[in-house]
Chain A
Amino acid sequence: MSAAMDTESTYSGYSHYSGHSKKAHRQGRDRHKSPRSKDGSRSEKSVTIQTPPAEPLLGNDASRAEEGQDDNWGETTTAITGTSEHSISQEDIARISKDLEDSVGLDCKRYLGLTVAAVLGLLVFLTPIAFILLPQVLWRDDLEPCGTVCEGLFISVAFKLVILLIGTWALFFRQPKADIPRVFVFRALLLVLIFLFVFSYWLFYGVRILDSKDTNYQGIVQYAVSLVDALLFIHYLAIVLLELRQLQPMFTVKVVRSTDGESRYYSLGHLSIQRAALVVLENYYKDFTVYNPALLTASKSRAAKHMAGLKVYNVDGPGNNASGQSRAMIAAAARRRDSSHNELYYEEADHERRVKKRRARLVVAVEEAFTHIKRLQAEEQQKAPGEMMDPREAAQAIFPSMARALQKYLRTTRQQQYHSMESILQHLSFCITNNMTPKAFLERYLTPGPTLQYDRDRWFSKQWTLVSEEAVTSGLQDGIVFVLKCLDFSLVVNVKKIPFIKLSEEFIDPKSHKFVLRLQSETSV
């Protein structure tokens, strides 16, 4: 399978890096003679790098098995798991097949739309030129001579066509950034309008001018000019309908992720539901923290415990009273002295403490590591050519001293799947190049960032489905709810209208600010 080949190729790549980093590490040991006993003792052990899985081929079980073994790139192990990387769970099969089938079907629709629009555009652009040239070609000798007036009109036609061309290029020729389920209503409307318009002009031209071979050339040229003017106005209409109307915010949209309740608010104008969904998705990738299934295991296990606690046996025969059963279960659960809230509280407090401790260790380790690196100035670069390292080598030199603390922190916050050793090294050399402080380097690991920050194959969210009770091309209204589903979670979107604000004014004369002393004196007599 191709998946197996992929993992093998990355494995070989990593073992190359392991050799390289060992060499750099040895160099680093000789060079930095600062006697820190921690560093010294760690460098004596052999550091073997284990390949982290490059694709999310591991389901939950495999990751748990991984944590059981003591495997990572900061510690002293040589075990490399080969078996778990080749197994694929049921979910991933569904995901792969969905990716395959969807990428083929919709392209045809998109390209069809594009070609129709392009052909129509070309036709429309060439029409005025055709109007002007056809009489010259067909009945040149009969035409009345038309001097400066016509030439002036030619110039104006030329410039207006250039402006139209630039405007159309600016407005319409943009990379389509999304595949949407239904056609854009306004765009279709505009295309139909343009088509009808040009068609009626051609009709008139064909009947009145071509058939009767009109000799008034100035009139013909003015007719062509009027066509170009009307096209410019249609372009203006297109701008207003497609761009300007959406700009003024009319609705506030609340987006809630179904798995962990993270929510955001956005302001939108008059959009159709599918375009609003597009806006929400574009903002999702940069605003919401990345979806991490490892964080949900705690609540799932609690839910499982609740369900497993009670069993209902029907003693009175096959009268299947389902609602009665569930009511009985709920009542029994309420009576049972459940201490799971206690467990949750202590578990969370404990987890907080552990995370803070590991974070403190990590910050100290990284700060220490960064003190080992110093940027060479231009003059110094000539003086000591032998010891110079480029950013990548510098990163590899200081990486082992912070690797363990970082690994432990990522494990505790369950982010270890999102950061491979290679990505960490890259980020470290990037920070070193740009003179960032240790805190700036750590910012990426201390808090989970938005989805865009991570590698594409960790996203869990590439294929979206819009689930809506109203037609997706209808406009937004107050109270509409639609759901954006992807394979692992969904985003529930709730639309609310921005309230009508009544603003009144009150004028205060600047001279009206007067004050008086309020005393309570006491006099002795």
Chain B
Amino acid sequence: QYSAILSFFSFQQRIEIHKLRQGDNLILGFSIGGGIDQDPTQNPFSEDKTDKGIYVTRVTEGGPAEVAGLQIGDKIMQVNGWDMTMVTHDQARKRLTKRNEEVVRLLVTRQSLQKAVQQSMMS
């Protein structure tokens, strides 16, 4: 019964990353994988193997993403209001690395977060 109610909630977190300037580039400090032009079955982080969304595959230590609270395995739903659930890999990269933006606001969802809330609601 509880799981039926929980499916209506979206366990999302807002993360604000301030880009770091390294030479001529602005870096965020994480790597992405996925996209509608990629093979979803090879994604180790997705629960549903047909999910073609953008996932965080690596977070560099001490980088801006880690500082902001981004974790490996997070699925990025929005970047600065742009939807990231139905984009190609290259489009996702472009939206994250816009030269004129210093701050990116991500809407991410996380499996561990989902499970934690489920467990706390059930007990």
Contacts and interface: CB of A to CB of B under 8 A. Distances in A.
Decide if A and B are genuine partners. Answer: yes
Interface of A: 518-525
Interface stretch (B7-15, B31-39, B110-118): B31-39
B38 A525 contact: no
A344 to B, nearest CB: 53
Nearest to A521: B89
- Chain B interface residue count: which class? 10 to 19
28 contacts: A518-B38, A518-B39, A518-B42, A519-B37, A519-B39, A520-B42, A520-B43, A521-B33, A521-B38, A521-B89, A522-B31, A522-B58, A523-B31, A523-B32, A523-B89, A523-B93, A524-B27, A524-B30, A524-B31, A524-B32, A524-B58, A524-B60, A525-B28, A525-B30, A525-B31, A525-B32, A525-B96, A525-B97
Given A525-B93, A525-B97, A520 B31 contact: no
Nearest to A519: B38
A521 B58 CA distance: 12
B57 interface: yes
B38 A520 contact: yes
Interface in B74-111: 89, 93, 96-97
B50 to A, nearest CB: 13
Contacts of B58: 522, 524
Q: Is the interface of A mostly helix, strand, loop or mixed?
A: loop
A382 B1 CA distance: 109
A518 B93 CA distance: 19
Contacts of B30: 524-525
A522 B33 contact: yes
B57 A522 contact: yes
Contacts of B42: 518, 520
A494 to B, nearest CB: 50
Contacts of A522: 31-33, 57-58
3 nearest A-B residue pairs (beta carbon): A518-B39, A520-B42, A524-B31
Given A522-B58, A524-B27, A525-B96, 18 more contacts: A518-B39, A518-B42, A520-B33, A520-B34, A521-B33, A521-B89, A522-B32, A522-B33, A523-B32, A523-B33, A523-B93, A524-B30, A524-B31, A524-B58, A524-B60, A525-B30, A525-B31, A525-B97
Contacts of A518: 38-39, 42
Contacts of B27: 524-525
Contacts of B89: 521, 523
A524 B96 CA distance: 10
- Which of A518, A520, A521, A525 counts the most B-chain CB atoms under 10 A from its CB? A525
Interface in B1-60: 27-28, 30-34, 37-39, 42-43, 57-58, 60
A522 B31 CA distance: 6
Nearest to A517: B39
Contacts of B60: 524
A523 B89 CA distance: 8
Contacts of B93: 523, 525
Contacts of A519: 37-39
B58 to A, nearest CB: 7
B39 A520 contact: yes
A376 to B, nearest CB: 73
A525 B89 CA distance: 12
A229 B30 CA distance: 97
A30 B33 CA distance: 88
A523 to B, nearest CB: 5
Contacts of B96: 525
A201 to B, nearest CB: 84
A518 B40 CA distance: 9
Nearest to A518: B39
B37 to A, nearest CB: 8
Contacts of A521: 33, 38, 89
Nearest to B41: A518
Nearest to A524: B31
B70 to A, nearest CB: 11
Nearest to B35: A521
A71 B111 CA distance: 87
A279 B28 CA distance: 84
Contacts of A520: 33-34, 38-39, 42-43
A337 to B, nearest CB: 56
Contacts of A524: 27, 30-32, 58, 60
A511 to B, nearest CB: 24
A517 to B, nearest CB: 9
Contacts of B32: 522-525
A386 to B, nearest CB: 84
A525 B19 CA distance: 10
Contacts of B57: 522
B5 to A, nearest CB: 35
Nearest to B94: A525
A525 B32 CA distance: 7
